[in-house]
Amino acid sequence: MTSANPVQPDKTVLLDMYSKMSLIKHNDETARKLLMSGRLPMIYYSPRGQEVIPSAVSVNLRRDDYICTISRGTHDMLAKGVPLDALWAELAGRATGTCKGKGGPMHITHPESGCMITTGIVGSSMPIANGLALASQIKGDGRVTVAYFGDAASNIGAFHEALNMASVWKLPVVFVCQNNRYGEHTKFEKATAVAKVSDRAASYSMPGIHVDGNDPLAMHAAAREAIERARAGEGPTLIEAVTFRFFGHVFGDADGYMDKDEKAAAMAADPVPRYRQWLMDQGHASEAELAAIDTGHESAIKAAVEKALAAPWPDPSELYKDVFTHELAPA
């Protein structure tokens, strides 16, 4: 752990963070195995390597708080509590999915757990988060909205517009940039004029926190500070959480453009086993306790996958349902 001694959360929170990280890691491993075997063809953006960020954020959120995420967002969804059965059914395009099989991997939403949108339009999670946060502000419901996005999204105009409005209106929103060092096939430094995305917060008069997004304690402290600030009506925060994506942009990416040494170093410092070991070294959990968490998730994921693959496809008569506010009659 590299944190500069932030206040340590209690054991329940420490283990909750581990549980979420383990769930995300095992879920990702299952997704990639299914893709490799050809059993489940789908478009898939692996979040492996980025487990800490949403796990540390989510233990600071309420169930009724909102998140907006992006196509690499299964980690964000799982950490927030999107149930495995509905998630896998949607990944497989089945009628029992979060969006009745009509959204697919790129468009998962599950309002019951606060996952309000998954968007494939780079830069769009932040203005949508502002809309949710504005609604909360007007209603006074005390909710906080977290907008997750990548480093490349911070170069899109909508990022700047959203931060500006959120600051002007003091919206209860937290902008969490998961800087995984690449936007598609382009290295961060090649396309970004600042060394730190968090420096951009100054332009919009909000705090900018630069944090090691693979350090659970540091990430937890950053998230708690920003979420408390938002909930107290003090306005938005920009968090830049530095991390790394282990498996390229999209599944099947040969990643020949990536720096091999950088990737090898990041994978050698895999945050999930590192945190697991730290929990044992500090006496927070035994090997048996952690193994029970891991195997519990493995069997729950396996069951969800089998259930999803046995579930029915959406009926063609459903095509126009839930798509527009006013239902259209089939042509």
Ligand X SMILES: Cc1ncc(C[n+]2csc(CCOP(=O)(O)OP(=O)(O)O)c2C)c(N)n1
Residues near ligand X (CB under 6 A) are 72, 120-123, 149-153, 180, 182-184
Q: Are 92 and 82 in contact (CB under 8 A)?
A: no
Question: Cα–Cα distance between 212 and 217 in angstroms, integer?
Answer: 9
Phi and psi at residue 279, to the nearest 5°: -60, -40
- Please, what is the minimum distance in Å from the beta carbon of residue 167 to ligand X? 21
Q: List all residues 6 or more positions away from 291 whose beta carbon is below 8 Å from its beta carbon.
A: none
CA neighbor of 122 nearest in space, from 85, 88, 149: 149
Which is closer to ligand X, CB of 108 or CB of 305? 108
- Please, what is the minimum distance in Å from the beta carbon of residue 213 to Mg ion? 12
Q: Which residue's entry shows tokens 């009926």?
A: 315
Which is closer to Mg ion, CB of 109 or CB of 180? 180
Phi and psi at residue 36, to the nearest 5°: -60, -40
Which is closer to Mg ion, CB of 74 or CB of 96? 74
Which is closer to ligand X, CB of 78 or CB of 152? 152
List of residues contacting Mg ion (CB under 5 A) = 150-151, 180, 183
Q: Are 318 and 328 in contact (CB under 8 A)?
A: no
Q: Are 248 and 258 in contact (CB under 8 A)?
A: yes
121 binds, among Mg ion, ligand X, none (CB under 5 to 8 A by kind): ligand X
- Please, what is the minimum distance in Å from the beta carbon of residue 289 to ligand X? 32
CA neighbor of 75 nearest in space, from 26, 124, 6: 26
Which is closer to ligand X, CB of 35 or CB of 43? 43
- Please, what is the minimum distance in Å from the beta carbon of residue 229 to Mg ion? 25
Give me the residue whose beta carbon is nearest to Mg ion: 150
259 binds, among Mg ion, ligand X, none (CB under 5 to 8 A by kind): none
- Please, what is the minimum distance in Å from the beta carbon of residue 105 to Mg ion? 18
